[in-house]
Each structure stands twice: as structure tokens, then as C-alpha cells.
Structure 1
Amino acid sequence: MFITKYNKIIFFSLIFVLSFLIVAQAGLALDPRTMDGLNTTAQGGFGEDITKSETDLPTLIGRIVGVGLSLLGVVFFVIIVYAGISWIMAMGKEEKINQAKEMIIGAILGLIVVLAAYAITHLVGGIFTSPK
């Protein structure tokens, strides 16, 4: 009991610490033109039409679906890692080993479905957003 509770604490602490590395990368995606946000806001307030979006609806939907599928891929990857750790910590108990194997197989199938859905979305999105 103590070993599994201790391992869970270590596992989730590691995930928590590593999540900061992912969040730190978001700052690198900042467009350099938005660094002077006050000027952009002032120009928008003085007559520029800021309600128009340069992205059309199919592109926006494709981006939303892509983000959702990416998050699902991360979830399945975390499940694979968790199942691998639980397999290692099974200490030869067949029931726990079989449960970990089933989790890994299910997560791999989930990753395959997510990758196929992403490929289909990319293909269909390319058809709808291609210039006519």
C-alpha cells in the first residue's frame, strides 16, 4: 500500500514539474508584432475594423479539432507511461501485469485512432481551405 501511494505521489509530482516546461514554450509562439500591444489597441480603438477575422470558418474548426486531437494524444501517451510504470511496479503479480498490458494496448489503439482522425481532419481541411 505504501509503495503504490509513494509511487503515485512521485509520478504526479514529476508530471506537475514537467508541465511547466510545456507552458514555458508557449511564450516562444508569440508573434513579434504583438509586443507593442498598447499601440495595437490604440489603433484598433481609432477606427480600424478589428472585428474582422483573417481566418475563415473551416480553418478555425480545423485548428480547434487539431488542438483537441493533440490533447487526446497527450492523454493517451500519459496513459502509456502510467501503465508502463504500473507494469514495472507489479512485482510479478500476474493480475497487475495483465491490467497494465491491457492499458497499454488500449492506449496504443487510442493513439492510432487519434492519428487517423488527425490525418483525416488534415486531408478534409486541406480540401475545404484550398484556394478555388
Structure 2
Amino acid sequence: MKKGIVVGLFLLFFVVGMFFFLSAVKAGTGPYIGLDYGAHSGLGSQDVRFTVAMMVRVVLGLLGTIALVIVLYAGFKWMTAGGNEENVKDAQKILMAAVIGLVIILTAYSITRFVTTRILEATKGGGFQYSDVE
């Protein structure tokens, strides 16, 4: 019984206290509240299509870098195999997988470039160059 009263009083003070401190929290937001918030939020003003195209380019670039590291690892493993056939075959498998991965990455890049260019041309009215995406 006493425990329920203590918990009830605590919740009462907590809930009532939130209403008193809410205005203090709002007071710290400064003049950038309301309709002008988006201009001062620090978010980019670029079109979403360009942002998505940039994200795809960055991801594919990172995948290409990872594939290059795998190719270098396979080459290093092959060179340090010392004539051991098992290590050479292992390195060849890794190298083949890396080359297949590079082909997939380049194909994905080509398809993405084609699709984003066509979408941007269709929504912008033509004349779009893929190099416009920074």
C-alpha cells in the first residue's frame, strides 16, 4: 500500500514536472523553429535524385576497392605459394571470385548509370549529363 502511494506520487511529480520544464527545453531552440527550420537544419538542399546517385556511386566505389584488395591478396598468396599446388589452387579460386565480383560491380555500375541518367533526363526534361552528379 505504502509502496503504491510512493510510486503514484513519483509518477505524479514526474508527469507534472515535465509540463513545467517543457517550455525551458523549447526556449533553447533559438529562432530557427517553425517554417524556417528546414533552411537552418544543416540538411542538404540538393535534389534527392542526385543524393541517391551519389550514394550508389560511393557504394560501388567502395565495393570496387574491396575487390581490388581481394585481387591483391590472391596475387600475394599465389606468389608466396612456393610451388605448393594447394595454395596455388586456393589463390586461383580467390582470384576468379574477385574477377567475377569485379564484373558484377562494373555491370551494376553500368546499369545504375544508365537508369539514373534516364530517370534524370525524364524528370528534368533532357540534356542531363551524368557528370553533373558530383
TM-score (norm 2): 0.59
Could you say which residue in structure 1 is the equivalent of 2:62?
A: 71
Q: How many residues align?
A: 87
Which structure ranks higher in relative contact order (CA pairs < 8 Å, sequence separation ≥ 6)?
1
Q: Match for 1:115 among 91, 100, 106?
A: 106
Could you say which residue in structure 2 is the equivalent of 1:87?
A: 78
Q: Match for 1:49 among 14, 17, 39?
A: 39
* Aligned mates of 1:127, 1:54 — CA distance in 2: 22
Q: Secondary structure at the match of 2:39?
A: coil
Moved over 6 A (4+): none
Give 1:86 deviation, angstroms: 0.6
Identity of aligned residues (%): 31
* Aligned mates of 1:119, 1:50 — CA distance in 2: 37
Q: Which amino acid aligns with 1:49?
A: A
Give 1:50 deviation, angstroms: 4.3
* Aligned mates of 2:116, 2:46 — CA distance in 1: 13
**Backbone CA RMSD of aligned residues:** 1.9
Give 1:128 deviation, angstroms: 1.4
Note the alpha carbon deviations across 1:22-51, whole angstroms, 9 max, x for none: xxxxxxxxxxxxxxxxxxxxxxx8x89345
* Aligned mates of 2:69, 2:120 — CA distance in 1: 33
Q: Secondary structure at the match of 1:125?
A: helix
Give 1:55 deviation, angstroms: 2.0
TM-score (norm 1): 0.60
Q: Match for 2:97 among 88, 106, 122?
A: 106
* Aligned mates of 1:57, 1:106 — CA distance in 2: 34
